[in-house]
Structures are given as C-alpha cells and as structure tokens.
Structure 1
Amino acid sequence: MSKTSKAPKAEDVELEWYKTVYQGDTMPQLTLRALVMGSVLGGVMSLSNLYVGLKTGWALGVAITACILSFAIYKSLMGAFPKLFKTEMSILENNCMQSTASSAGYSTGGTMVSAISAYLIVTGHHIPWPVLAWWTFFLASLGVFMAIPMKRQMINVEQLRFPSGIAAAETLKSLHSKGKVASQKARALGLSGLVGAIITWCRDAGKPAFLNFPSNVGLFPGASKATLMGIPLIKWTLSFEMSTIMIAAGAIMGWKVCWSMLFGATVNYAILAPWMVHLGAISGDPAKMGYRAIVAWSTWGGAAIMVTSGMLQFVLQWRTIARAFSGLGELFGGGETKQRKDDPMERIEVPSTWFLTGTILSGMGCVAVLYHSFGTTIWMGVFSVIMTFFLSVVACRATGESDITPIGAMGKVTQLFFGAISPANLVTNLMTASVTAGAAGSSADLLTDLKSGYLLGANPRKQFLAQFVGIFAGTLVVVPAFYLLVPDAASLGTDKWPAPSAQVWAAVARLLGSGLHALHPTARIAILIGGALGIILPLLELAFPKAAKYLPSPMGLGLSMVIPFFNSLSMFIGAVIAIGYEKRNPVMAERFVIPVASGLIAGESLMGIVVALLSSAGVI
C-alpha cells in the first residue's frame, strides 16, 4: 500500500477516535487520588514482582490486579468514610491509576532480578544503594521517554493490538458496569490473598508453633528416607514445595510452558544430575549436594536453550523488525503522521519536545552512572543508549503484535555486541545490556497502558504523566526491598532464590569473558545440545504448526534447568488446575482464575517480605 493511500486513512482514523471515543476533557483523569492509589498499589506490587522474579525469572502483569484492588479498596473507603470519599473514581481515573501502578510495579523491578542480580553473582558485592536507585530511575525513565514517538504510529495509525492493554481496558469496563462480577472478582482476589499470607506466615514465621510446617515435603510417603545414589531425594530438589505462589504462577503461565518445565526438570534432576555425579561433573559429596551444586552445571544447557530459542524467535519475526525500522520516519513525524497545527490530536498527544528532552537527560544519566560507577567508557555508554532505542522499537512492536516483550533477547543482543568489543569486562557487558533490557521493558509497558487509554478515550498526555509518576514510587520501594531480600551474593542461586534470569545473564557474561575452555567438557556438550534444541524446537513448530502443541516449549525446558525441581512441579500443578477448571466451567474460569492466582501471589509474596523485615529486626 502506498503512502498516498495510507495518509488519509490514518488521519481519518485519528479524527474518528477523537470525535467518538475521546472523553478526556469531560471526565476526571489525572487526579491526586488516582496517583496516590496507583503509587501505593504499584509499590506493593513491585515487591510481589521482585519476590516472584527472584524465584522464577518471570515478571507478572500488574495492571489488571491493580484495577481490581483499587476498585475494591475505594469501594470500602467510600463505605467506611463517606464524608471523606464522596464520589467513585471515574474509569479514566482508574486507568491513570493502573498506569502509575504498572510503571511502579513492573518497569522498575525487571533489572533487579536479571542484570543487577547477575552483577552481584559475578562480582560478589552489592552496588551501593544510591547508585542502584539512580540507575533504576534512569533506566525506567529512558524507556518511558523513548516510547513517546512510537505511540502514535503503533497505536493510533497501525492499531497494533497490545493484548494485555485490551484486557486491562475490558477489566475496567467490567468493574465500572455496576454488575456483580466486579465485586466477585475483588472478593476472590482478597480471599486468595489472605490464604497466601496465612500459609506464608505459618511456614516462614513459625507462629503459632502448632501450625508451623516445613517448606518442603517428600513426593510420596516415606520419601524422606528414600535416596538416589545414596543421597536423600530432597538434596536433588525432588520434593514438593509447601507454597501456593508457584502453583498460582503456573495457573497464569499456561499449560504448554508448565508441562515442558516438569518434563525438563524430571530429565535434569532425576536423570542428568545423577549421571553428572557419576562422571564427576557434579560433586557427589552428600554434604555439598544440593540445588546450587546441580545448577552450577545445568545452567549452561538451560541458558543455551533460552538464548538460542529467544534469538531465533526474534529473527523469525523479521517482518516485525522490518516494519519497525521502515516506520522510523513516521515515528518522528514524517510521512502520514506528520504533525499539523490544526490537528486536534496535537493538543492531547505527548509533545515531541518531551521525547527529546527526556531521552537526552535520562540517557545522560545512564551514561554518567555507567562511567562513574561501573567503569564503562563514555562512548560505550552513549552507544548502548542509541542501540537501546532501536531495540526498544523492535521490542514494542513485538509486544503490540504478540503480547510478548523479548526483553531477554534484546539484552542478549547487547551482551553479544559488547562481549565482542570488550570481552574481558564482565561488568560492562552486564550493565550495558541492562540499559537495553530495562528501557525496552519500560517502553513496552507504557505502550501497553496507553493502548488501554486509547480504547477508553483517555488523554494520552495525562496518562503519560501518571506513568512517569509511578517510576518514583517503584524506585523508592523496590531498591531497599532488593537489599532486604538479597543481603549478599550467597543468597542467590539457592533453593529460596534461584534467580534464573540472573544465572543466565551471568553465564553469558562469563562465557563471553573466559571462553568455553574454562568449562567442564560435559558442560560444553550441554551448551551444544541446548543450543541445538533452542533452534530445532521453534523451527519444528514453524514447519508443523498442527504438532506445535505436542512439542515442548524451549523457554519452559530452559527455565526448568535453572530453577529447583519442586518449582517446576508446583507450576505444573497450577496449570493442571487451571486447564481442568477451564474445561469444566470456561465462564467461571475466565472470571476467577487470574484474580485468585494474582491474590495468592500477592498475599504470599508480600507476607514473605513482612516476615523478612520482622526477622531482620529480631522480632521473630
């Protein structure tokens, strides 16, 4: 289609939206109560995502949970204090609230569980907290500002779906429809959160003593006495975790990934690990055997699967990549979206001056921290920021088309590039890649939230400001929480905090720095086999789409090799429960699976942080 035929269509679509959907001038949107509620909920959810990310390497969406919680909390406040809370929050206020919450809960914590944790693993020491706070703030800000020129092209003109944004908009419409469904969802989320909190308190705090139970139990009666190669099964992580958080995560993640994880975990911990003990690649000393000893070997195969599959799936999206870069002219106001003074959208869209000013200032902040705190040369820092913009364009388009943000793949591209030009500098490798991954995730999160606003008729400029406010709340909460949960390098790579994303980032940095010769021969073979699987499986899915559901997920297989067996088992159980409920009652499953799972995750993770605080204070 030619540009001349596209230009009128783009203008007509925007004008039609402005006339028939836009309601940002007639309804409250960017209000103090929306920002406060979003900041509080986002700060709380950032703790939950940090907790889950250190366990699984995954980040869970915040927007829908925040919408339900905000609705329930404000309803309760109106009932308890009618003189103070006289009116309900409008749907656009709640949309601004979820933007602030999503920014705080999602955009600021991703780098903590990946690059920052990998830095701790590689160097053995923490980044000073003021440096980490500025780093987190600059990364999230860079991503938010870089997304400004993408919004009008990808959302207004091309109408990319951004499925999670659609889901959040539909959730808000449902909550504001005055029906029973909204209250039922809120009640389900609250009750499941209470259940998760109680389980965590009894398990981790041990009070009351008669309700205390262990964190792990045997897979079958008498399993506590069973051994494998003379070593107790629990040492191989072959046990069941007394926790609901991973079960809930499995219910959200879906069937294919979770059955692939159980399959991969069984092969890794019940077959490969004993074999490696026999070959001497893993210590057979019962005193040293455990998750850390096994994953020191299995990380290489798992990382290879995830890296090659992620990169291949990225390359297979070449049409998306081509569209992303062919549209760069339109992103900056050329072609069919050229800004005009008489365009009514100019009054409500985020100005290009904000993009230029914000990107330059936040980019300079990133470069300054890289130079002063991590010893990265200025030119490398500047190049990493420039490279980040182009990769963020690709990541945002991938999110819009598939709802999957390839943060890991984007980070690996940067790692490979800087590994080639500065192979011995592991810190530079990690932190320049952190710029790409952190900013790309923040950009995609903003566009997902702006998609919700577009569907609801919100003012995008006001919603952008709400998103930016959330960065402050997330940074203030997630940075001290990271130091609390991870006091030192020894805390990572353990049963409690497997930190799979960090393990992969650290493994890639070390491999690029020292080469394959430093590894045990079996680990090199594992890299070759894992890398091959990461390429073969996606190609098989492409060649035989009807058989795709029977093929294991490469991401699931790779992840199963860097987290304990009991985590994969719990996630599989959650997926079984969710798919069984969906087949039995699809309407109720669609209504309650996400709220209940989100409540369990929030309740257990937040109580886990409370227990950690009380423990560090000597209260328990």
Structure 2
Amino acid sequence: MLEIVAPQSKESPSDTEKTAITLRDYEEKLDSPSSFQFINTDDPFPESPDDHIEDQQLTVRAVLVGCILGGVISASNIYIGLKTGLAISSSLFGAILGFAILKPLSRSAPTFLGGGYFGPKENNICQSAATSAGSIGLIFVSGFPAAYQLGLLSAQPKDDIGRLFTFTICCAFFGLSFTQPLRKFYILKLKLVFPLGVAAAQTIQSLHVGKGAEAIAGRKTRALIYAFIGATLLRIISEYAPGLLWDWHIFYAMNRIGLTSAIAAESWGWIWEWTPAFVGVGMVTGANASYSILGGSFLAWAIIGPVIVAQGLAVGVVADPAIPGYMSYMSMNLADPIHHPSPRYWMLWPGTLILVCASLAEVGCNWKSFYLGMRSALGPLLQWFSQTTVEDDNVVDPVPEHERVPLWAWSSLLVISVIVTCIVMNVQFGQNVGVTLLAIIFAFLFSLMGCESEGRTSMNIVTSAGNASQLIFGGLASGQNYPIKRGQLLNLLTGMLTLGKYNESFKA
C-alpha cells in the first residue's frame, strides 16, 4: 500500500495519523495532482485489491526487452562518451519503451510467447535491466580505448573479444551484491530521494494508474519515436549538406568575406555542430553542469590555448596552406610530446589534475557517508557470523519478508564474483590477486560516495572515481618497479575495474 498524505490543515496530523488510501482513491488524486502534498519515495507501488497480483515480477520478457533497450542506450553512451566523456541514463527510456512493447504483447500474445498480465512492478524490472545494461558500456569510453592507443593489448579489439566479455561480466555481477546492504542505509534510513529513480517510478505509475494512462503512455512513446526518426533523418540528410545541416563554420565564412582575423577562431575549433546526440545531452544535463562545461571549454580553447602558443609552449600544425593563418591545435601526435606538444596534449595535464583533485575532495567531504555506509553494509554479515542481534536503529522495511533478497543470496553472489574476478584478472591479464582485491575494496568505497551523490543530486561521479583510483594504482605500480607498459596496463585495468564495479553497484 502506498501511503499518500492529504493536504495538511491548520491542525496538521502527526506521522501516525497519516491516511493510507486505496489505489482507487490514488487514481482520483493522480488525475488531480494539486490535491495531495507528497509521496513517500521509499514506499512500494500501490496495489489494487481488484487487480491482478504480480506474483512473477522477474520475467523473461521483461529482462529480455530491458536488455535490448539497454543495449541501444549503451551504444549511444559509448558514442557520446568517446565524444564528450558524458553519459545519459536509460531509466525513463526503458520504462516508457518497455511499456510500449510489453503492454500490447501481454494482451495479444499467448502465454508461452510472452502474453499475460503486465503490471508496474514488471515494468520496473524492464527499466532496471535497461538501466544496468545501458551503463556497463562506460568502461569502453576511457580505459580500453586508451589501452589500444598505447598498444597495451592486441592490435584490434576483436582479437580480445573473450577478455572483453569476461571483464564486463566481472564488473556487472559484483555491483548487484552491493545493492542489498546499501539499500537499508541509503533508502530506508537516510531516505535519499534518488531523483532519477523517483522520476522513473512516477513515470511507471502514470503509465499504469489513473484515467487515460494508456493514452498518456502512447503520447510519450510517440514522442520518443518522433525524436528517433528526426535525429536519424537529420544525420542522413546532413551527409548531403554538411555545411548547412551539420557543421556551421561561422568564423571560416567570416574569413572568406574579408574578415581574415576570424580564421584564428576557426583554428581553435569554434564551430557550431548540430549533432543530435549532443543536443539530447544538453537537454537532459543540468544548467550548472552545462555552464561548467562551457566555461572549461572557453578557458582552455579561448584563453589558455592561445597564450601557450604565443609563448612557444605548444605548437600547432598547418590545416590548409592555401588559407593564411589556418592552423589545427587538436592533434594528439605523441611523436615528440616533450619538446613539441600540441595545445591539446599540453592542457591534458592541468585538466587531469583538476579532475583528480576534485575526486579526492569529493572523497574527503564524504568520509562520514563512507563510515556509516560500511557500518550498515557489514552489519548483516557481522550479525550472521556472531549470531547476535544488531540494533537496526528502528528502521522499518515496508517490503514483505518473502519479497526481500535473503542474506545468503547476495553474500554468496559477492563471494563468487570476487573469486571469478580474481581468476579472470590473473589468468587473462596477469594481474596480481592482491591488486585485484584492492581494486574491489576501492569499488566498494566509491560506491558509497556514488550512492550519496546519486541519491541526493542524480550526478554521476563515475569519472571522478576512475581518476582517483588510477592515481592510487599508478603510485602502487611505480613502487613495484614494473616496466612502463606493464605499469600502464595495470593502471588502466584496475581503474576500469573499480569504475565498472562501482558504476554497476549504484545503478542497480
């Protein structure tokens, strides 16, 4: 039963006097949102006494459709991540399109082909699968591309397909075991909002509950389809008119009409590009983050870049000999980065330092969350081993006992995933077991910070976690006197292992 609080009068009721309403009452209030004040974000979905009971929430059809939708988002995230380092969540995408696919199927298909009642809880399973599958691709936007560019793995990624699969599996299953002990602390005790999760829950409720729910779902689905068709058509048509529908070289045009000094801005990459992926990221990215990205770009490519070139600290290459002053400063040619660095290579280091310092500051500011989260996570294990009762701080779990994940289930998954990870990293990559265990510990610590950040602001700090872990393991590799390439591979693998396990833990 979902608890909804009626508007408070002058004599506000206490918490014990809150009115619990049935789903029928909830439908009426859903059609008039101003008639109630708030919904407890840690309460389950409302259940109707007149409707089907979802005995089978975890179904093959929900997981299969969710994974397919997550695969689409994962491919998009890899593209966007390689371009910008950003990623988008697939929770709402999975919730809406999962409903659009499975709801008609549940009515028209026979039971053995995926038919049967489709409710909000199964819809949530679909979006959960889509979210998890969509986020795992983040490990392929940083560490692995760097490893191939440095020549640390095989010549082509297809030659390492087996190692890439097993590495992904190690990252995916380990995060699932983290979610259960952290749920009690972050959701039931601290009652963090998790804005993206709440948005997905409210979206699913609006798809299944209330008057005209299916009509609303149809409009949302059509909006996604129209956006997909529009972005696809724009990309295809722009191939035939790139200067009109894709890249606007404004400063190049100004140079052609006589303002020759404008070519300097073109040389530094100041063009307008109508990339649908970037437009979409801008629509879902918060204003503060967007201002930070714009400010960093302006600082790097309009101030620092021209200064270091003028001082002789970095050099560019001629982009077109026929156009005086037309240069390119985006090269990452590492033939002689010490004596002739490009501006892009030169600014890589202060940018990395900023990221690492921000990561360490984030870790330091959240030390209390680390401590409390570890205490909450290790409490059930200590209770199990000591056979003593641990104080639960009066935390009430609204989920029935038979629907909770038992201790033996997530703890056994934790042990198995640790063992498999150590074997895979040692056999396929030659990594020391101790270093792998240290990476797993850091993944757990960073997952506490990630849950705190995601739960309060929906900000994904996965890049910061990866940078901080690489700094630590870089120092470890230098202390072991590894050869350069061996140390580089160790640094990248442990950083990706920490990043992947941490990311899957709070996404799950």
Q: Corresponding residue for 2:413?
A: 358
Offset at 1:171?
0.7
The whole-number CA distance in structure 1 between the counterparts of 2:86 and 2:379 is 33
1:32 matched to 2:60? The reply is yes
1:262 matched to 2:294? The reply is yes
The whole-number CA distance in structure 2 between the counterparts of 1:255 and 1:134 is 38
* Count of residue pairs the alignment pairs up: 424
1:172 matched to 2:221? The reply is no
Aligned partner of 2:495 among 428, 433, 447:
433
| Structure 2 runs not aligned, ≥5 long | 1-41, 320-326, 332-341, 384-389
Q: CA 1:289/1:172 → structure 2, altered by over 3 Å: closer, same or farther?
A: same
The whole-number CA distance in structure 2 between the counterparts of 1:405 and 1:333 is 31
SS class of match (2:142): helix
SS class of match (2:88): coil
SS class of match (1:327): helix
Q: Once structures 1 and 2 are overlaid, which stretch shifts more, 97-106 or 290-299? A: 290-299
Q: Corresponding residue for 1:475?
A: none
Q: Corresponding residue for 1:273?
A: 305
Deviations 1:88-146 (A, max 9, x none): 6211111111111111111x111111222232333365551110111011111111123
Q: Corresponding residue for 2:268?
A: 236
Q: Structure with the greater relative contact order (CA < 8 A, sep ≥ 6): 1 or 2?
A: 1
Q: Corresponding residue for 1:392?
A: 447
The whole-number CA distance in structure 2 between the counterparts of 1:380 and 1:85 is 45
Question: Residue type of the partner of 1:443?
Answer: S
Q: Corresponding residue for 1:319?
A: 368
SS class of match (1:429): helix
Q: Corresponding residue for 1:94?
A: 123
Q: Once structures 1 and 2 are overlaid, which stretch shifts more, 50-59 or 270-279? A: 270-279
1:68 matched to 2:123? The reply is no
1:53 matched to 2:81? The reply is yes
The whole-number CA distance in structure 1 between the counterparts of 2:382 and 2:176 is 18
Q: CA 1:421/1:35 → structure 2, altered by over 3 Å: closer, same or farther?
A: closer
1:286 matched to 2:318? The reply is yes
Query: Which residues of 2 match residues 168-567 of structure 1 at below 5 A?
Result: 168-177=200-209, 178-179=212-213, 180-203=215-238, 206=239, 209=240, 215-219=246-250, 222-223=253-254, 225=256, 233-287=265-319, 289-292=328-331, 293-332=342-381, 334=383, 335-337=390-392, 345-423=400-478, 425-446=487-508
Offset at 1:169?
0.4
Question: Residue type of the partner of 2:328?
Answer: M
The whole-number CA distance in structure 2 between the counterparts of 1:94 and 1:255 is 30
- On the 8 A contact 1:268/1:298 being kept in 2, the answer is yes
- On the 8 A contact 2:252/2:262 being kept in 1, the answer is no
Offset at 1:55?
1.4
Q: CA 1:86/1:241 → structure 2, altered by over 3 Å: closer, same or farther?
A: same
The whole-number CA distance in structure 2 between the counterparts of 1:372 and 1:241 is 45
- On the 8 A contact 1:414/1:436 being kept in 2, the answer is yes
The whole-number CA distance in structure 2 between the counterparts of 1:210 and 1:77 is 41
Offset at 1:433?
1.8
Question: Residue type of the partner of 1:427?
Answer: L
The whole-number CA distance in structure 1 between the counterparts of 2:44 and 2:237 is 54
Q: Which has the higher helix share?
A: 1
Offset at 1:17?
6.2
Q: CA 1:272/1:78 → structure 2, altered by over 3 Å: closer, same or farther?
A: same
The whole-number CA distance in structure 2 between the counterparts of 1:215 and 1:279 is 34
Deviations 1:521-561 (A, max 9, x none): xxxxxxxxxxxxxxxxxxxxxxxxxxxxxxxxxxxxxxxxx
The whole-number CA distance in structure 1 between the counterparts of 2:381 and 2:502 is 18
The whole-number CA distance in structure 2 between the counterparts of 1:227 and 1:124 is 47
Aligned partner of 1:140 among 151, 172, 189:
172
The whole-number CA distance in structure 2 between the counterparts of 1:157 and 1:271 is 47
- On the 8 A contact 1:411/1:434 being kept in 2, the answer is yes
- On the 8 A contact 1:398/1:405 being kept in 2, the answer is yes
The whole-number CA distance in structure 1 between the counterparts of 2:438 and 2:152 is 27
| Structure 1 runs not aligned, ≥5 long | 1-15, 447-620
Offset at 1:79?
8.9
The whole-number CA distance in structure 1 between the counterparts of 2:273 and 2:241 is 19
Offset at 1:300?
1.7
Offset at 1:40?
1.5
Question: Residue type of the partner of 1:169?
Answer: A
Q: CA 1:221/1:156 → structure 2, altered by over 3 Å: closer, same or farther?
A: same
- On the 8 A contact 1:405/1:444 being kept in 2, the answer is no
The whole-number CA distance in structure 1 between the counterparts of 2:248 and 2:229 is 23
SS class of match (2:391): helix
Offset at 1:70?
1.9
Q: CA 1:85/1:329 → structure 2, altered by over 3 Å: closer, same or farther?
A: closer
SS class of match (1:89): coil
Deviations 1:142-161 (A, max 9, x none): 11123232223333344332
- On the 8 A contact 2:356/2:468 being kept in 1, the answer is no
Question: Residue type of the partner of 1:302?
Answer: G
Question: Under a length normalisation based on structure 2, what TM-score does the superposition of the two structures give?
Answer: 0.74
Q: Corresponding residue for 1:160?
A: 192
| Identity score, percent | 26
Q: Corresponding residue for 1:561?
A: none
Q: Corresponding residue for 1:512?
A: none
Q: Corresponding residue for 1:595?
A: none
Q: CA 1:116/1:170 → structure 2, altered by over 3 Å: closer, same or farther?
A: same
Question: Under a length normalisation based on structure 1, what TM-score does the superposition of the two structures give?
Answer: 0.61
Q: CA 1:220/1:281 → structure 2, altered by over 3 Å: closer, same or farther?
A: closer
- On the 8 A contact 2:453/2:461 being kept in 1, the answer is yes
